[in-house]
């Protein structure tokens, strides 16, 4: 079973994402900020990370920058998932190393298509 880490400071978004991802047959972990997400990655590396942009403590951009510096081999696919929908934000996320980008709100069809795109399904 594939493992997806959902990183978002909104408990509602985490809950909705978990429900959709479990329907897609994923094992789901949750983190409310980038720092907790990094700890989870070090202990139990996911196959894919659904990552919010704006979060307290450590935002998605900083998480991604630090995450990419971690030593080691296999890296999960990173899918940014935010309300920021302008081209500048999307480009910045991709330059930082994101594999895909989802604009909130999203549904199961969108998540499925994006995960297929990055090869996580």
Binding site for another protein (CB under 8 A): 85-87, 90-91, 94, 100-103, 106-107, 109-110, 113-114, 116-117
Rounded to the nearest angstrom, the gap between the alpha carbon of residue 112 and the centroid of all alpha carbons in its chain is: 14
Nearer to another protein by Cβ, of 16 and 45: the residue is 16
**Structure tokens belonging to residue 87:** 């081209």
Nearer to another protein by Cβ, of 40 and 90: the residue is 90
Nearer to another protein by Cβ, of 4 and 38: the residue is 4
**What is the Cα–Cα distance from 108 to 55, expressed in whole angstroms?**
23
**What is the Cα–Cα distance from 28 to 9, expressed in whole angstroms?**
16
């Amino acid at each position: 079973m594939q493992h997806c880490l959902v990183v978002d400071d909104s408990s509602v978004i985490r809950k909705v994402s978990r429900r959709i991802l479990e329907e897609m047959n994923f094992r789901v972990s949750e983190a409310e900020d980038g720092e907790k997400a990094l700890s989870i990655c070090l202990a139990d590396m996911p196959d894919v990370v659904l990552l919010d942009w704006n979060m307290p403590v450590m935002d998605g951009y900083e998480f991604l920058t630090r995450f990419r510096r971690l030593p080691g081999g296999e890296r999960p696919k990173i899918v940014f998932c935010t309300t920021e929908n302008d081209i500048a934000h999307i480009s910045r996320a991709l330059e930082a190393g994101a594999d895909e980008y989802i604009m909130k709100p999203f549904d199961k069809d969108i998540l499925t298509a994006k995960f297929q795109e990055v090869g996580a399904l």
